[in-house]
């Protein structure tokens, strides 16, 4: 069996990457939560209990669950090259200023691996680095050191790391490192890239990098994230050499073409279905309004899904061009790609008001552990009832705090190894 690779959306989930709520979410305040893409501050201790329950339910079904912070700490301990690469990437003249860059790099390089991993995700304030500022007259040589307050961030917190789905996407026998849309999320990809490049478990494994070519994330330094962005909540390898990719608030046509070209050249896929969606915070990714439940069953939020325009992209005469065909409807295209006689479509439950509420609370954002078995937030009672009436086993977890970032079980998991169907 391959060590890594995702060959469907509902085949047996064997390995998954998650991030437990901790320091980065403790940084959220009423003043900054909007900029950090959360709808409110979280009761972090309760969010941890909810997340622990989520992980426990996966492990009970045989899923190997890995924590990102742990993998980062192991990588930093095992690879001095990797440690230097990540520190020098996130600490530059453009992020901390000319006069502070060398001092801060040396300070971080001297940190213990787990502490450094914590701050790469959770951020670092000037007050927390007071040892650095106490060692010399930095305030006289660095404008940043002179003007920043004790509570200003030298390294920014990355609270959306909770949603590990987005920073990378495993598609069949390879992975993309994703240039994400909002500045609040740009640095997340470097943390996961550190693990994929330098952790022994990944370093010695065989898999392809669909984007960037050869996994060279230095390319991100030269590219505009906003013009060509991709997030994992839009990416779904559904099997039969087909991939769905949402063309959404967060993922652009430019990146869909980049990924399609690499998949076709590598023989991993023969069809990419681009799903052109309306742009809205309530449905920023495809997986907020559409996920798979079984080999022939999907859940949708009709108000948005019925307005998706789908385009099938297939290889053209050379690698630089494609055969692009507009489909009759998105769901017809999915049914055809799956090769099923009749796609079972289970809408968000309840009346129009209840559907809007439960979509907002991630009722359609469920993660399958195997065909016909999903994890869902307990609060989405109407939608979960509809799943059960259709023969789907629903494993419920609390999500009162976790859901404040607008993500459910699908968002909070990055599948590393999943069977085909």
pLDDT score recorded for residue 39: 85
Provide the sign of the torsion angle of the four alpha carbons 82, 85, 89, 90, taken in this order: positive
Q: Give the Å distances, CA to CA, from 207 to 4, 78, 170.
A: 7, 21, 10
Residues with Cβ within 8 Å of 349's Cβ and at least 6 positions away in sequence, in order, are: 355, 358, 363, 380, 381, 382, 383, 384, 385, 386
- The pLDDT assigned to 384 comes to 98
For residue 358, the Cα-to-chain-centroid distance in whole angstroms is: 21
For residue 321, give both structure tokens.
């061009």
Q: Give CA separation, 239 vs 168, 209, 307, 308, 314, in Å.
A: 18, 19, 24, 21, 15
Element (H, E) at 81: helix 80-90
**Whole-prediction pTM:** 0.95
Q: Taking a C-beta distance cutoff of 8 angstroms, is the pair 286, 243 a contact?
A: no
Beta carbons of 322 and 279 less than 8 angstroms apart: no
Tokens 């060959």 locate to 7
Distances (CA, A) of 186 to 178, 295, 369: 9, 34, 29
Let me know: does 49 contact 397? Beta carbons within 8 Å: no
The answer to whether the beta carbons of residues 394 and 374 sit under 8 Å apart is yes
Q: Is 136 helix (H, G, I), strand (E, B) or coil?
A: coil
DSSP alpha helix (H) spans, 243-308: 253-265, 302-305
Q: From the centroid of its chain, how far is CA 130?
A: 33
Domains within the chain, CATH numbers bracketed: 5-64+159-418 (3.75.10.10), 71-155 (1.10.3930.10)
Helix (H, G, I), strand (E, B) or coil at 420: coil
Helix axes of 113-122 and 68-78: crossing angle, nearest 10 degrees: 130
What does residue 58 show for φ and ψ, rounded to 5 degrees?
Answer: -65, -45
Q: Are 231 and 178 in contact (CB under 8 A)?
A: yes
Active-site choice (192, 333, 411, 417): 411
* Predicted local confidence at residue 192, as pLDDT: 98
Please tell me the distance from the alpha carbon of residue 188 to that of residue 180, in angstroms, as a whole number: 8
Question: Is 414 noted as a catalytic residue in this protein?
Answer: no
Specify which residues 367 forms β-bridges with: 375
Q: Specify the DSSP element, H or E, that contains 124.
A: strand 124-125
What are the start-end ranges of the E strands in 213-308? Answer: 235-239, 242-247, 271-276, 290-294, 297-300
Residue 125: helix, strand or coil by DSSP? Answer: strand
pLDDT value for 319: 84
Residue 221: its pLDDT value, please? Answer: 67
- For β-strands 393-397 and 373-377, DSSP reports them as parallel
Q: How far is CA 384 from CA 173, 293, 333, in A?
A: 32, 12, 25
Closest CA relative to residue 65, chosen from 13, 6, 3, 11: 13
Q: In what order do the strands lie in the sheet with 373-377?
A: 367-370, 373-377, 393-397
Give the per-residue pLDDT at 405: 84
Alpha helices, H only, 123-206? 130-134, 138-141, 143-147, 188-198, 200-203
Distant-in-sequence, close-in-space partners of 1: CB < 8 Å, separation ≥ 6: 417
Determine the angle formed by the axes of helices 68-78 and 80-90, rounding to 10 degrees.
120
Helix axes 188-198, 80-90, angle to 10 degrees: 160
Contact residues for 113 (Cβ-Cβ < 8 A; gap 6+): 72, 73, 74, 75, 76, 77, 83
Q: How does pLDDT run along the chain (421 residues), one tens digit per residue?
A: 679 999 999 999 999 999 999 999 999 999 999 999 888 999 999 999 999 999 999 999 999 999 999 999 999 999 999 999 999 999 999 999 998 999 999 999 999 999 999 999 999 998 898 777 765 556 567 888 888 888 889 999 999 999 999 999 999 999 999 999 999 999 999 999 999 999 999 999 999 999 997 777 767 665 666 678 999 999 999 999 999 999 998 999 999 999 999 999 999 999 999 999 988 766 789 999 999 999 999 999 999 999 999 999 999 988 889 999 999 999 999 999 999 999 999 999 999 999 999 999 999 999 999 999 999 999 999 999 999 999 999 999 999 999 988 899 999 999 999 999 9
């Amino acid at each position: 069996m391959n060590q890594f690779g995702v060959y469907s959306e509902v085949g047996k989930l064997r390995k998954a990457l998650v991030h437990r709520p901790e320091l980065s979410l403790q940084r959220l305040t009423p003043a900054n939560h909007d900029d950090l893409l959360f709808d409110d501050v979280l009761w972090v201790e309760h969010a941890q209990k909810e997340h622990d329950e989520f992980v426990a339910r996966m492990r009970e079904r045989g899923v190997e669950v890995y924590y990102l912070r742990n993998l980062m700490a192991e990588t930093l301990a095992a690879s001095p090259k990797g440690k230097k690469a990540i520190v020098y990437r996130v600490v530059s003249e453009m992020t901390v200023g000319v006069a502070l860059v060398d001092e801060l790099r040396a300070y971080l390089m001297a940190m213990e691996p787990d502490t450094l991993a914590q701050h790469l995700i959770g951020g670092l304030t000037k007050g927390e680095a007071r040892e650095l500022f106490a060692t010399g007259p930095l305030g006289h040589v660095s404008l940043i050191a002179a003007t920043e307050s004790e509570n200003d961030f030298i390294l920014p917190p990355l609270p959306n790391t909770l949603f590990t789905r987005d920073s990378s996407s495993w598609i069949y026998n390879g992975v993309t490192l994703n240039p994400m849309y909002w500045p609040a999320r740009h640095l997340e990809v470097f943390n996961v890239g550190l693990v994929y490049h330098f952790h022994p478990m990944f370093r010695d494994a065989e898999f392809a990098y669909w984007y960037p070519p050869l996994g060279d994330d230095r390319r991100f330094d030269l590219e505009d994230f906003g013009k060509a962005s991709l997030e994992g909540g839009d990416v779904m390898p559904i099997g039969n050499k087909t991939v769905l990719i949402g063309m959404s608030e967060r993922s652009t046509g430019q990146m869909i073409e980049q990924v399609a070209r690499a998949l076709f050249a590598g023989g991993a896929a023969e069809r990419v279905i681009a799903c052109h969606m309306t742009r809205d915070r309530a449905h920023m990714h495809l997986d907020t309004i559409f996920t798979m439940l079984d080999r022939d069953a999907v859940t949708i939020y009709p108000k948005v899904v019925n307005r998706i325009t789908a385009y099938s992209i297939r290889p053209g005469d050379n690698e630089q061009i494609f055969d692009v065909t507009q489909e009759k409807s998105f769901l017809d295209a999915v049914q055809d790609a799956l090769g099923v006689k009749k796609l079972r479509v289970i809408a968000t439950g309840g009346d129009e008001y209840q559907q809007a509420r439960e979509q907002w609370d991630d009722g359609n954002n469920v993660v399958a552990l195997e065909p016909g078995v999903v994890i869902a937030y307990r609060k989405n009672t109407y939608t979960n009832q509809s799943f059960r009436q259709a023969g789907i086993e629903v494993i419920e977890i609390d999500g009162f705090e976790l859901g404040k970032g607008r993500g459910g079980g699908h968002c909070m998991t990055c599948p590393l190894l999943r069977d085909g169907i």
